[in-house]
Structure 1
Amino acid sequence: MARRAREDEFPEASRRPTTGWGRPGGLQAEYLGGQLLVAMPSMQDPRFARAVICLCAHSADGAMGIVLNKPLENLSFEELLKQLEVEPLPPHRQIRLLAGGPVEGGRGFVLHTTDWSSEGSLKVTGDLALTASVDILKAIAGGGGPRQGLLALGYAGWGPGQLEDEIQRNAWLNVTPDETLLFEGMPDEKWRQALAKLRIDPLLLSGTAGHA
């Protein structure tokens, strides 16, 4: 049975995860905020096997990202709106639901294009934002909201230095995202699509990391 969501599980984005969302006004250049992380075949953690993660923030305090290729099972957008008592029902627009990661699985995040934003939206890149308030769900359900978006319950989080250590151990590749990789296509194809953007054949991929 799907876990019941509550409206207070979509708090304002200013209530940031303890793993660190980076600093307001942009991330330092050496960090990978806004990049996609692509799991290497040697990934030891089964929760992230063949995962493609949009890294929404990365700083000395840690990192936070949304898994893009793990569909949320047993819950539809319409069912989520009913739980949150958001109208109209049925919704005028749909949005893809994902299991965004193993941390705080009851919290909702919408990763979306920046043609729509609210006061609490976190700017990931010039074209990409993250919003954790229920207002964006109301806008989408009513036929408005951002041009492109996806809704994730939970996120992937790393403490200070943890992601850097995993990259050093060749657990991840990184690649610059595009809207197709972020918002379109089938989830089970994203891992191969991300590798194809790096011009890597997964059959030939070894444990040696490289970066776009």
Structure 2
Amino acid sequence: MTQDHAAPDAGNLTGKILIAMPGMADPRFDRSVLLICAHSEDGAMGLVINRPLPEIGFADLLEQLGIEADDSARRIEVRFGGPVEPGRGFVLHKVPEHGDDPEGRLRIGRALAMTTTRDILEDLAHGEGPESAVLALGYAGWGPGQLETEMLANGWLTGEGAEELIFDASHEDKWGRALRAQGINPSMLSAAAGRA
């Protein structure tokens, strides 16, 4: 007897968070928390969710793109999304749990999506669009098997992608809160990975 639908892939990390372990080899990700936006056998793509870019304002970006904002424009935080394509923007936002996803929008979970089209920026510039949103510049990317190798080397811990972590603007303690949400006391972690 055959199944009509495939079982969910237990190894798929889409919608999960990655928490950098203290021994993280790449200093660009030291104490970072990422949301995995896409994960498959072809690799993975994620956005750092705890690195604000205070020197770059949303209004400045709109001006650079030639988008005129009005008085009702949303106040959107701009963050460092990762080292790949730092000039490219990604809007993480909440979406209705049911409904169609237009072109340019990638659903990450039941109520979370990432949009890369100019339309969403125009909507936000006029006080429209999603209620909760952040803009990330750049992204983190891994080739086939690369993320899994980094996880086996104790570079990353996975956890549930709590929305309060994604949209919360309090970044200083987000790494510790992400660990505590997984039942781990950050002060008990060591940078040295053990071998049996």
TM-score, scaled relative to structure 2:
0.87
- CA-atom RMSD, angstroms? 1.8
Give the corresponding residue for 2:82.
101
2-side partners of 1:120 and 1:155: how far apart? Answer: 16
Pick closer, same or farther for the CA change 1:91–1:99 going to 2, 3 Å. Answer: farther
Give the corresponding residue for 2:63.
82
2-side partners of 1:42 and 1:129: how far apart? Answer: 31
Cα displacement (A) at 1:90: 4.9
**Contact 2:23-2:193 at 8 Å conserved across structures:** no
Partner residue of 2:43 out of 38, 45, 62: 62
- Partner of 1:125: helix, strand, or coil? coil
Cα displacement (A) at 1:53: 0.2
Amino acid at match of 1:74: E
Within-5 A mapping of 1:196-207 = 196-206=180-190
Worse overlay, 84-93 or 124-133: 84-93
Identity of aligned residues (%): 49
Pick closer, same or farther for the CA change 1:91–1:208 going to 2, 3 Å. Answer: farther
Give the corresponding residue for 1:44.
25
Deviations 1:65-99 (A, max 9, x none): 00011112421011111111112245521111001
Give the corresponding residue for 1:143.
127
- Partner of 1:33: helix, strand, or coil? coil
* Structure whose CA Rg is larger: 2
- Partner of 1:146: helix, strand, or coil? coil
**Contact 2:71-2:126 at 8 Å conserved across structures:** no
Cα displacement (A) at 1:119: 2.4
**Contact 1:149-1:183 at 8 Å conserved across structures:** yes
Alignment length (residue pairs) = 183
**5+ residue gaps, structure 1:** 1-26
Give the corresponding residue for 1:133.
117
2-side partners of 1:33 and 1:181: how far apart? Answer: 16
**5+ residue gaps, structure 2:** 1-7
1-side partners of 2:136 and 2:129: how far apart? Answer: 16
Give the corresponding residue for 2:4.
none
Give the corresponding residue for 1:122.
106
